[in-house]
Amino acid sequence: MYKMTVKGWLKHFDFILLDLFSLLLSLLTGIWVIRQNGQTFSDPNIPGFVVLILMINLGVLIAFDGLNCVVTRGYLVELGMTLRHVLLVIGLISVAVMLRSEKMTYPDGFFFLVLILYFLYSYGTRIFWKRVLRSHPIPEETKNPILIVTNSLYAKEILDRMRTHSFIRYKVIGVVFTDRDAEGEIFEDVPVVANLGNAADYLCREWVDEVLFFRCSLDDKTQTLIEQCRQMALTIHLSVAVQGIDERKMTIGYIAGYEVLTANTNLMKPLDAFIKRSFDIVVSFFGSIAAALLLIVLGPFIYAASPGPLIFCQKRIGENGHKFKMYKIRSMYMDAEERKAALMAESSHADGMMFKMDFDPRVIGNRILPDGTKKKGIGAFIRDTSLDEFPQFFNVLKGEMSIVGTRPPTPDEWEKYQYRHRARMSVKPGLTGLWQTRPDKDTMSFDDIVALDTEYIANWGLGLDLRIVIETARQFLWGLIFGKKKKSPEQRDETEKTVVK
pTM of the entire predicted model: 0.59
Mean pLDDT for the stretch of residues 218-222:
85
User: Do the Cβ atoms of 475 and 437 come closer than 8 Å?
Assistant: yes
> Which of 7, 91, 22 is CA-nearest to residue 470?
91
* pLDDT > 80? residue 500: no
DSSP per-residue string spanning 13-62: HHHHHHHHHHHHHHHHHHHHHHHHTT---B-TTHHHHHHHHHHHHHHHHH
DSSP secondary structure letter of residue 105? B
Quick one: which of 224, 193, 229 has its CA closest to 211? 229
Residues 6 or more apart from 386 whose CB is under 8 A from it? 476, 479
Q: How confident is the model at residue 280 (pLDDT cuts 50, 70, 90)?
A: very high
Q: Which residues, including other chains, have CB under 8 Å from residue 94's CB and lie 6 or more apart? A: 111
The DSSP secondary structure of 364-426, one letter per residue, reads: TT-EE-TTS-EE--HHHHHHHTTGGGTTHHHHHHHTS-EEESBPPPPHHHHHT--GGGGGGGS
Identity of the highest mean pLDDT range in 39-43, 90-94, 95-99:
90-94
Distances (CA, A) of 288 to 282, 283, 292, 308, 407: 10, 9, 6, 21, 19
Q: In 3D, which of 355, 389, 361, 357 has the Cα closest to residue 376?
A: 361
Beta-bridge partners for 19? none
Across the range 79-83, mean pLDDT stands at: 90
Quote the pLDDT of residue 351: 40
Residue pair 312/327 in contact (Cβ under 8 Å)? The answer is: yes
Distance (Å, rounded) from C-alpha 187 to C-alpha 195? 14
Distance CA 75, CA 78 (A): 5
Q: What's the pLDDT score for residue 328?
A: 92
> Of 97-106, 350-359, 492-501, where does mean pLDDT reach its minimum?
492-501
- Long-range contacts made by residues 239-248, C-beta under 8 angstroms, separation at least 24? 239/212, 239/213, 239/214, 239/215, 240/215, 241/215, 241/216, 241/217, 247/215
342 against 312, higher pLDDT: 312
Q: What is the spatial distance between Cα 324 and Cα 486, in angstroms, rounded to a whole number?
A: 33
pLDDT tier at 495, thresholds 50, 70, 90:
very low
* 225 close to 199: Cβ distance less than 8 angstroms: yes
SS3 479: helix
Percentage with pLDDT > 70 across the chain: 81
Q: Which pLDDT score is estimated for 350?
A: 47
Q: pLDDT tens digits, residue range 169-204? A: 788 999 999 988 988 999 988 999 999 889 999 988
What are the DSSP E strand ranges found in 232-329? 235-239, 250-255, 258-263, 311-317, 323-329
Percent of the chain with pLDDT over 90: 22
Burial class (CB in 10 A: 0-12, 13-18, 19+), 152: middle
Q: Show the 3-state SS of 137-165.
A: CCCHHHCEEEEEEECCCCHHHHHHHHHHH
What digits encode the pLDDT tens for the residues 346-402? 655 444 334 566 677 788 888 877 777 778 888 888 888 889 999 999 999 999 999
Q: Residue range 289-309: average pLDDT?
A: 92
> When comparing pLDDT for 357 and 145, which is higher?
145
Mode of pairing for the β-strands spanning 170-177 and 144-150? parallel
Select from 136, 45, 119 the least CA-distant residue to 84.
119
**Quick one: pLDDT band at residue 238, thresholds 50, 70, 90?**
confident
Using an 8 Å Cβ cutoff, are 194 and 174 in contact?
yes
Q: Other CB atoms closer than 10 Å to residue 142's CB: what's the count? A: 9
| pLDDT tier, 161 (very low <50, low <70, confident <90, very high otherwise) | confident
> Would the pLDDT of 48 be above 70?
yes
Q: Which residue has the higher pLDDT, 35 or 194?
A: 194
For residue 1, is pLDDT > 50? no
Q: What is the pLDDT of residue 57?
A: 86
pLDDT digits (tens, 9 = 90+) for 247-266: 666 777 666 566 666 766 77
Instruction: Grade residue 343 by pLDDT with cuts at 50, 70 and 90.
Output: confident
| Per-residue pLDDT band at 277 (split at 50, 70, 90) | very high
Alpha-carbon span 16 to 68, nearest angstrom? 12
Cross-strand pairs, 42: 105
pLDDT value, residue 352: 39
Lowest mean pLDDT among 291-300, 354-363, 410-419, 476-485: 354-363
Answer yes or no: is pLDDT of 138 > 80.
no
pLDDT on residue 282: 93
- pLDDT for 104 equals 64
The answer, yes or no, to whether residue 120 has pLDDT greater than 90, is: yes
Kindly report the average pLDDT of the chain as a whole number: 80
Asked if pLDDT for residue 421 goes beyond 50, the answer is yes
